[in-house]
Amino acid sequence: MPPNGLKLLGAWFSPFALRVQISLNLKGLDYEVVEETLNPKSDLLLKSNPVHKKIPVLFHGDKVICDSTIIVEYIDEVWTNAPSILPSNAYDRANARFWVAWIDDKWLTSMRSILVAEDDEAKKPHLEQIEEIHERMEEVLNKFSEGKAFFGGDTIGYLDICLGSIWDWNRVMEEMNGRKVFDEAKNPALAKWAKTFAAHPAVNGLLPDTHNLIEFAEVFERKWTAEAAQ
């Protein structure tokens, strides 16, 4: 374990564990990654997060922190060196938290609904919901960035991390459903942002391969469809 006692219990396919890794990288911190397979869930996961039994979990010495957004905020508050992840202004922090919660609610609901839908017609409204998420975030980016590279301005911030961590799943949904869900022509600022985000040193090399994600998603599609049928 690194001298600072940082260990992340995560998984290569988890956008939520990815959020934590990006945040740790932004702060220039050394950390160990412990890969969780979830099949079955490890004793370490069950012991460290007995309430939700979900990844990611961050170990900081003898401290255990759960939930990706809470972990990201913890990292920002403990390691105050630049760059800051959350805005310094209280109103801006509130706005960033609002949009992160909105993205997680809308995106997670839509993706799960797509994976368990019985046919293309049942998937359609949820695919359209993802398109609407993009259109809304195009508006938010244009407002918050003030013409700069990221939602957080010149540097990656809270909203960038949380949206960017799920971005590759757009291609997964497109490949699995034979339909575009992200329109670069309608969302030019967001298209440019996505490329800049992926190329950032704190992110580059962390984003999972799309084909591997598709294979993983197909496993969950079968699992969730079976559960929905019970």
d(CA 68, CA 57): 8
Domains and CATH numbers, the chain: 6-78 (3.40.30.10), 90-229 (1.20.1050.10)
- Residue 74 CB burial class (10 angstroms; 0-12, 13-18, ≥19): middle
pLDDT of residue 229: 67
d(CA 31, CA 103): 28
pLDDT of residue 111: 87
pLDDT of residue 17: 98
pLDDT of residue 116: 83
pLDDT of residue 223: 75
Could you list the pLDDT tens digit for every one of the 230 residues in the chain? 677 789 999 999 999 999 999 999 999 999 999 999 888 999 999 999 999 999 999 999 999 999 999 999 999 999 998 889 999 999 999 999 999 999 999 998 898 899 888 889 999 999 999 999 999 999 999 999 989 999 989 999 999 999 999 999 999 999 999 999 999 999 999 999 999 999 999 999 999 999 999 999 888 778 767 776 66
Q: Is 139 helix (H, G, I), strand (E, B) or coil?
A: helix
